[in-house]
């Protein structure tokens, strides 16, 4: 009996180790892949694929479907406007455990033209690298919106509001983090540096 107890105790750690190894392997099988679609159909493909995942019970193989987006700030008619923009038009990201079944479900979804990174016809694609995924997900997270700046240093601009309304000047410095510019405005015949908000100017 004592020997049996010893044998059982000796086997248990090995089984636990094997289980951990299997779990670790299963975890590493979850990767992000890129699928190509027709530009403008990204959200429709996302919806189509999510429906197929549920109807074909593939939730344990295909986990997330994302259309990479980021907010872009622009100033129009003196107003600050935030517009969502697609980061990669024509592409959709899929987090999945790649095997024959999940591969079939994704590549046969309406609107999908194929996987990016496939070595050849009928061959499974290469997943995105972890650092690439982190960069994309960070862009989609709660980050400071990317500014769309329609003017550059040296451009002539017109002041549309504030004490210098209707004055024109030359952009001397741009400060995106403050959403401000320094412009050289001619006041009484002298060029004077004036700090202005993005929404207070427009390109001439």
Please give the average per-residue pLDDT across 169-192, as a whole number: 89
141/100 same-domain check: yes
- Do both 42 and 88 map to the same domain? yes
Percent of the chain surpassing pLDDT 90: 42
Which range of residues forms the domain containing residue 71? 30-147
pLDDT at 77: 75
pLDDT surpasses 60 at 5: no
Which one, of 71, 70, 28, 69, lies nearest residue 46 by Cα? 69
Q: Look at the alpha carbons of 157, 162, 166, 168 in this order and tell me if their dihedral is positive or negative.
A: negative
Token match 């050289």: residue?
A: 184
Please check whether residues 161 and 131 belong to one and the same domain.
no
d(CA 141, CA 133): 12
**What pLDDT, on a 0 to 100 scale, did the predictor assign at position 10?**
41
Number of domains into which the chain is organized = 2
73-91 pLDDT tens trace: 777 777 778 888 888 899 9
132 and 161 together in one domain: no
Quick check: is 198 in a domain? yes
Q: Are both 34 and 124 inside the same structural domain?
A: yes
CATH number, domain of 92, equals 3.30.70.940
pLDDT higher than 60, residue 16? no
pLDDT of 183 over the 90 cut: yes
Q: Between 100-107 and 42-55, two packed helices, what is the crossing angle to 10 degrees? A: 140
- Domain identity same for 127 and 53: yes
Q: Lowest-confidence range among 60-64, 73-77, 114-118?
A: 73-77
Same-domain check for residues 142 and 186: no
Q: Are residues 142 and 160 both part of a single domain?
A: no
């Amino acid at each position: 009996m004592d020997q049996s107890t010893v044998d059982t105790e000796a086997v248990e750690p090995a089984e636990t180790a094997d289980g951990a190894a299997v779990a670790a392997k299963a975890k590493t099988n979850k990767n992000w892949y890129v699928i190509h679609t027709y530009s403008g159909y990204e959200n429709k493909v996302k919806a189509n694929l999510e429906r197929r995942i549920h109807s074909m019970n593939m939730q344990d193989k295909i986990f997330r479907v994302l259309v990479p987006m980021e907010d872009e700030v622009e100033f129009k008619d003196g107003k600050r406007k935030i517009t969502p923009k697609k980061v990669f038009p024509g592409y959709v990201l899929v987090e999945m455990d790649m095997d024959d079944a999940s591969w079939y479900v994704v590549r046969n979804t309406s609107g999908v033209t194929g996987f990016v990174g496939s070595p050849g016809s009928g061959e499974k694609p290469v997943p995105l690298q972890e650092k690439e995924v982190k960069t994309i997900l960070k862009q989609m997270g709660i980050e400071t919106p990317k500014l769309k700046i329609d003017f550059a240093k040296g451009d002539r601009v017109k002041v549309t509001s504030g004490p210098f309304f209707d004055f024109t000047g030359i952009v001397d410095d741009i400060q995106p983090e403050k959403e401000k510019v320094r412009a050289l405005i001619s006041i009484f015949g002298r060029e004077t540096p004036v700090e202005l908000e993005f929404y207070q100017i427009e390109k001439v």
